[in-house]
Amino acid sequence: MDIAQLRNFVAVAEAGSYIRAADLLDVPQPTLSRQIRALEVELRASLFHRHGRGVLPTEAGKKFLEYARSVLHTVDQGIAAIRDTESMLTGRLGIGLTPSMGRLIVPTLMPRMVERFPRAQISVVEGLSGLLYERVLLGQLDFALVLNPLHSSSLRVVPLVADPLCLIGPEPVGPAESEVSLEDVTRLPLILPHGNQWVRPMLEAAATRLGLNLNIVLEIDSTPAVMELVAQGIGYSIMPNSLRKISRLPPMAWQKISGTNLDVVLSLISPVRVLPSALVTEAAQLVRDTLTEVLGAD
C-alpha cells in the first residue's frame, strides 16, 4: 500500500465514479481499477458497490475512507512543513477562476502575483464553477473562486461577495433604467448557460414561484460569447452585477432584477485534507484583497 493508492482511492470515493476519477486524475481507468483492486486484496474487503451511475463505498470502504483521509492529511502536513521550512514562498501554486472572474481580476492580480512570489510556479486554470469545484476537491488546485459552491465536509468554503443578478441587453427594458421585474424578464428571448450551471436553477426556481416560465432561445456556456450576442441584439442574458466592471465590454444596459432575492455568492474554496502552505495562504489573501479592490473601484 502506498500514498498514490490512497489518493486514488479517496478520489474514486469522492467522485463516485471510476471514469470520472480517472479523467480528473489523468490516469487510465484500468490502472485506477487495478490499484483499487490491489487495495481490496490487501485489506481483504470490498471497498465499493457498483450501481447504474457509478460506485458507492461499502461499509468497509466508508471506514477506510476516514483513515485514508487522515493519513493523507498527515502526509500533506509533513510535506508542507518541510517545504515551508526550506523555502517559504516557492513551489507550485494552482488557482482556479471562472472565465468571467478571470477577465475581471487577472489583469490586476497576475502582475502582483509574479512580483510577490517570484520563485513560485503559478498556474491559473479557467473553467466553469462545477469543474473547478471538482478539481479542488481532488487536490488538483490549491484554491478556486467559484459561484454558489455546494457545501462539502471535504472543502473549506469562504463566502466573499454576494452579487445581485442583472438583466443585460442592448437597451433597458421597462420604465426604470436601473431595474426590471422578473415578469418582464420572462417575456424576453434569453441566452443562458446550460441547466447544470448556477444561473439556470436560480432563475427557473424564482420564475416557477411566480407561475412563470423562461423564454430561452440559446444555451451557451461562454460568458464573452453571450455578451457579444447580447450586444448584437440577438437576445438578453442574466449576469452578476460585478461583471459590468470588466474592461472593454461591448455597450449594454444592466438592470437589477427587482422584487427577488437573486444573488449569487462568490466564494473561495480549498481542500480540507491539505494543510495550506505559506505560499497558498498568502496567495489566497492576495486574491481576496485584489477582488475587494476591483469590485470596490468606480
pLDDT band for 108, please (50, 70, 90 cuts): very high
Boundary residue ending a domain (37, 66, 84): 84
Tell me how crowded residue 190 is: count the other CB atoms within 10 A of its CB.
23
Q: Are residues 224 and 269 in the same domain?
A: no
Q: Are residues 182 and 242 in the same domain?
A: yes
Boundary residue ending a domain (84, 115, 150): 84
* pLDDT at residue number 178: 87
Boundary residue ending a domain (68, 84, 100): 84
Tell me how crowded residue 139 is: count the other CB atoms within 10 A of its CB.
21
pLDDT band for 297, please (50, 70, 90 cuts): low
| DSSP reduced 3-state for 219 | strand
Q: Are residues 153 and 271 in the same domain?
A: yes
pLDDT digits (tens, 9 = 90+) for 126-177: 988 888 988 998 888 999 999 888 888 889 999 998 888 899 999 999 888 8
Sign of CA dihedral 225, 226, 227, 233: positive
Q: Are residues 102 and 151 in the same domain?
A: yes
DSSP E strand stretches across 98-183: 120-126, 143-147, 155-169, 179-181
Give the range of the structural domain holding residue 134, as residue numbers without chain letter: 87-160+265-296
Tell whether the model's pLDDT for residue 220 goes beyond 70. Answer: yes
Distance CA 274, CA 24 (A): 18
Distance CA 100, CA 106 (A): 10
- Burial class from Cβ neighbours inside 10 Å (0-12, 13-18, 19+) for residue 134 reads buried
Per-residue CA distances from 127 to 99, 100, 133, 282 (Å): 6, 10, 10, 23
Q: Are residues 134 and 111 in the same domain?
A: yes
Q: Are residues 194 and 58 in the same domain?
A: no
Q: Are residues 69 and 111 in the same domain?
A: no
* pLDDT at residue number 25: 84
List all residues 6 or more positions away from 33 whose beta carbon is below 8 Å from its beta carbon. 18
Q: Are residues 145 and 283 in the same domain?
A: yes
- Per-residue buried b or exposed e for 104-114, using 16+ beta carbons within 10 Å of the residue's own CB: bbbeebeeebe
List all residues 6 or more positions away from 80 whose beta carbon is below 8 Å from its beta carbon. 274, 275, 276, 277
Tell whether the model's pLDDT for residue 86 goes beyond 80. Answer: no
Number of H helices, E strands in the chain: 10, 12
Q: Are residues 145 and 175 in the same domain?
A: no
Q: Are residues 109 and 149 in the same domain?
A: yes
pLDDT digits (tens, 9 = 90+) for 8-66: 889 989 888 888 888 888 889 899 899 899 988 998 989 889 887 888 989 998 999 88
Q: Are residues 53 and 199 in the same domain?
A: no
pLDDT digits (tens, 9 = 90+) for 236-279: 999 988 888 876 778 889 999 987 778 888 899 999 887 888 88
Pairing of strands 120-126, 91-97: parallel
pLDDT digits (tens, 9 = 90+) for 164-205: 889 999 999 988 888 999 999 999 999 998 766 677 888 888
Q: Structurally, how many domains does the chain consist of?
A: 3
Q: Are residues 259 and 167 in the same domain?
A: yes
pLDDT band for 84, please (50, 70, 90 cuts): low
The CATH number assigned to the domain holding 175 equals 3.40.190.10
pLDDT band for 88, please (50, 70, 90 cuts): low
